[in-house]
Amino acid sequence: MNNSLPSSRPDLRTRRLANTLTAVLLLTFCGLSGAITAAQTQPRVYMTSPCTGSTSVVDTATNTVLATFSVPSGPFAVAITPDATRAYITSQNDNIVSVFDTATNTLLTTIPVGFTPSDIAIAPVGARAYTANQGGGGSVTVINTSTNTVIATVPVGDLASAIATMPDGTRVYVALAFSDRVAVIDAGTNAVIANIPVGNLPDGVAIAPDGRRAYVTNLGSDSVSVIDTVTNTVIATIPVDDSPARIAVTPDGSRAYVTHSFIDAISVIDTTTNSVTADFRIGAPSFNIAITPDGSRAYIGTQGNNYLTAIETATNTVIATLTDDEGRTCTYGIAITPVALAPSSKDDCKNGGYRRFGPPAGPFRNQGQCVSFVESHSTRRD
């Protein structure tokens, strides 16, 4: 394969970077004395467009745009909180993260971070968000999502292109494109505890749901490095098609999907054998990718008028393509709303428990609202 890049490194810095993270399933609630029948909520895709300075929300049930809203200074990467109530969106122009209420898509606050924030990840636990900052020598900004304040800045090296967190929130993995390595941050101390050599120009990173493996795309060497997160060593290198950009692992951990920046291809890796089992076309080169919580679909940001493509993972076929002739042609960041909890009994509402339930069931303003929700969605068995 040709390992030379058709664009300069400064151009690479502004091309692809954002990540993901993950999903909001349809909810079926169970009540006190019988099954709860609630309105089903489909996952929503948040996709950023630096070309238009906006972020769009896509309903995965109909694959149509529900809303589009402006983002200060141009949006780049996006991540959603575990309770699905907020979206965190990086803006490279002003080095900030904008926090949006996902119920209303309104701006709540902005947070200054490091230079040129290229990617963002939110830990599933622990109320932490992490931005990978390309400029200023390369750093990671640590945000407390409860207070939306910066609590640490961790130097990692140039060029911090992608970031992912462990499922238990204990460590953070950062791809450093110009150093050909991955930095590992201890989330407890906010210090780098390991540097792992990988391939040339690492551009994307994803961690398996069980936390045992990290997968890194190497844009310059057309490969994916597989890292054992126990030993923080590379245990396999998988050849893939040209210019692998971003990667996402299915919820069951069985497959990894790789996008390619400069060719029309998606590669599918069997994580048991660490081999490519499928290559298929989606009509355009692609950047970021996110997979729905049930693993049935992947959403991919593509270049050109076809700015978002949905594929069925069972067959690896395109099932929907969103098209726009009016400038929304550069989808970079993609995130899918994660699972939102709902109360299933009155006990769930006690002792402040009502506060932890996110949309569509809440959050509730008080315990009474939580109890009312449980009662209104309960139906007695015959």
Residues 6+ apart with CB under 8 A from 255: 249, 268, 269, 270, 271, 277, 313
pLDDT at 361: 59
The string of DSSP codes covering 93-106 is: TTTEEEEEETTTTE
Q: How does 51-80 read in b/e, with b if 16+ C-beta sit within 10 Å?
A: ebebbbbbebeebebeeebebebbbbbbbb
pLDDT computed for residue 47 by the predictor: 94
Using the predicted structure, report yes or no on whether residue 77 has a pLDDT greater than 90: yes
Across 316-320, average pLDDT:
95
Note the pLDDT of residue 359: 53
Question: pLDDT-based confidence at 23, cuts 50/70/90?
Answer: very low
Beta carbons within 8 Å of 365's beta carbon, 6+ residues apart: none
Average pLDDT of the segment spanning 319-325 = 83
Beta bridge mates, 48: 55
What is the pLDDT at residue 125?
83
Q: Residue 41: pLDDT above 70?
A: no
* Residue ranges of domains in the chain: 9-346
pLDDT for 370: 85
Residue 40 has pLDDT above 90, yes or no: no
**Average confidence (pLDDT) over 270-299:** 94
> pLDDT (tens digit, 9 = 90+) per residue, 160-215?
999 999 999 999 999 999 999 999 999 999 999 999 999 999 999 999 999 999 99
According to CATH, the superfamily of the domain at 9-346 is YVTN repeat-like/Quinoprotein amine dehydrogenase (2.130.10.10)
Sheet holding 86-91, edge to edge: 78-80, 86-91, 96-101, 106-112
Mean pLDDT value across residues 352-367: 69
Which of 19, 6, 2, 334 is CA-nearest to residue 175?
A: 19
pLDDT digits (tens, 9 = 90+) for 226-279: 999 999 999 999 999 999 999 999 999 999 999 999 999 999 999 999 999 999
Residues 197 and 253: their CA atoms lie apart, in Å, by 24
**75, pLDDT greater than 60:** yes
